[in-house]
Amino acid sequence: MNIENIEAFVYVYHYGSFNKVAEVLFLSQPSVTARIQSLERELDIRLFDRLGKQVQLTEKGRQFLPYAQQLLQVYQKGKQHIQRQRTDPQELRLGCTVSASNYMLPELLPKLKSQFPGLQIKLTTATTDEIMSKVLNKELDIGFVRNISHPNLHSVKYYEDPIRLYAYADHPLVGQKEVPLDLIVDHPFVFFECGSLDWLRIHRLFQSLDKPPAIEIQTDNAETAKKLVMNKAGLCFLPGLCVNKEVRDQLLHPVDLAGVASVALQTNLISLNGEQSEILQFFLANRTG
């Protein structure tokens, strides 16, 4: 039985699309279709029902799925075991999002170096999708990314960063208890958005109000947003990690909103399934989520 056909089957189930699997596996769509058809001939069953551009498992496909997933995982673990010894075993290729690079790893990496003095670290900052792709292609060993799942990746929650509204020191809302949501729309806003789906919950806060917030500046950079608030450009929703020092120094102050549920950004640690290196165990032992 061809392991590439098994891989294509598991991936099509996961993504629900032949085109998406072709993109992920760097194949043409006909190649993915050919692999599924070859597996169907070998098993003498139909694995998927085609519904336009989407596909769903047949009853026989659902019965075969857990065995296919187990076969793929065993193969990957065996392959990783054989390839584990790299030319330079003292090198760590680490990928992370901008927020992890700026606010989490500067504290973690000195601890890691203390435990592994000879370790050389190559740090890559990129988007979650780029890091995931590089880990899957073995261009990176470990990644710190937004909350994701993938059949070939071990993904665990590493840190949960609460998002709160922050104001500069002498803003009129500072010190007030449980500020009504409709009151803050009268104040200028700086809006930071990092692209995570969690930020949709911030947008939804204002949907029930009679008028939108007075967003005067939008930025995709947390440092820029933070400095704008300190320079009195407006209020801003920010992750707690990026403002810890400023809050301690009383340059920024959280504003508590009445009746607003907590929102947080989740950072996950990802690695290939079966990876059990000492470095990975170090990170898992030092996680806070």
**pLDDT tens digits along 262-275:** 778 889 999 998 87
pLDDT at 266 (0 to 100): 87
Give Cβ neighbours of residue 119 (< 8 Å, ≥ 6 apart).
90, 91, 92, 112, 113, 279
Indicate yes or no: pTM above 0.75. Answer: no
Residues 152-161 have a mean pLDDT of 90
Mean pLDDT of all residues in 18-23 = 88
Express each pLDDT in 45-98 by its tens digit.
999 998 877 789 999 999 999 999 999 888 887 776 665 544 444 789 999 998
Domain 86-289 belongs to what topology? D-Maltodextrin-Binding Protein; domain 2 (3.40.190)
Q: 107, 195, 188: which is closest to 145 by C-alpha? A: 195
* Domain edges within the chain: 3-83, 86-289
Q: What is the pLDDT of residues 116-146, one digit of tens each?
A: 888 899 999 998 999 999 999 999 999 999 8
Q: What b/e string do you get for 218-235 counting C-beta neighbours within 10 Å, with b at 16 or more? A: ebeebeebbebbbeebbb
Q: What is the pLDDT of residues 209-255, one digit of tens each?
A: 778 788 899 888 889 999 999 999 999 999 898 999 999 999 999 99
The whole-angstrom separation of Cα 188 and Cα 215 is 6
pLDDT of residue 288: 65
- Report residue 196's pLDDT band, with 50, 70 and 90 as the boundaries: low
What's the rounded Cα separation, in Å, for the pair 189 and 179?
A: 15
> Does the domain formed by 3-83 have CATH 2.60.40.10?
no
**CA gap 63, 45 in Å, rounded:** 11
